[in-house]
Amino acid sequence: LSHGSELKGLKNAEVFSFQRYQYNSKFYNASKGLVFLELGGEGSISPPGDKWVRDESTTMMKWAQEFGAAAFQLEHRFYGPKENSPTGKQDTESLKLLTIDQALADIKEFIDQTNAKYFANTKTYWVTFGGSYPGSLSAFFRETYPDYTIGAISSSSAVHVFVDYYGEVRFLRQLKWINIERLFRLPGPY
């Protein structure tokens, strides 16, 4: 894992080592120290993916206003520009670093560096946010690094995955057969 390559000339985004991030401190109340972090997934934080900290109508930003939180959005490694990878490439060898464990370590490192850069001498309380795959990351991060956050908002996420799950097959087979019978009872032509 290399957090060393720098991106230059980014528009509407800050540079965090090799990962881009955005922030909005409009509602931040330093006496509370609350910080929200929207985790990136399978997309860029470039428009239109930059909405999470800029659009005050999103749930996270409404809560940031209500609770006095700073808001950050972190782009997932390898998504966005090709430079958004630890190696600066997206070849087969580099993609070996595209793992959940590496993504969780990136979040931990981001929180450490963000605390040092923006919140020195302030006790912070982080809450991660995510939906779908980033929702899974949010839950996994809370489980893996419990001392780093006070909570995780995990929406529509797969956190209990089954390999070779067949439980729905019986139901779908029955449903399919019922629908086929109904179809053939309809008046023709076929």
Find the mean pLDDT for residues 153-176.
73
Over the stretch 9-42, which tens digit does the pLDDT of each residue have? Answer: 333 334 456 688 899 999 999 999 999 999 998 8
CATH of the domain at 63: 3.40.50.1820
Residue 36 lies in a domain: yes
Structural domain tally of the chain?
A: 1
Residue 8 lies in a domain: no
CB atoms within 10 A of CB 154: 23
pLDDT at 110 over 70: yes
**Phi, psi of 24, deg, nearest 5:** -140, 115
pTM: 0.76
Residue 89 lies in a domain: yes
Q: Which domain holds residue 108?
A: 14-163
Q: What whole-number distance in Å separates Cα of residue 150 and Cα of residue 125?
A: 6
Residue 170 lies in a domain: no
Residue 112 lies in a domain: yes
Residue 1 lies in a domain: no
Is 75 within 8 Å of 19 (Cβ atoms)? Answer: yes
* CA 162 to centroid of chain Cα atoms: 22
Residue 77 lies in a domain: yes
pLDDT at 12: 31
pLDDT at 52: 75
Place of tokens 């929180």: 111
Residue 87 lies in a domain: yes
Vertex 74, ends 72 and 77: CA angle to 5°? 175
CB atoms within 10 A of CB 47: 10
**C-alpha to C-alpha distances, 120 to 30, 44, 81, 124, 140, nearest whole angstrom:** 11, 29, 30, 9, 26
Pairing of strands 125-131, 34-39: parallel
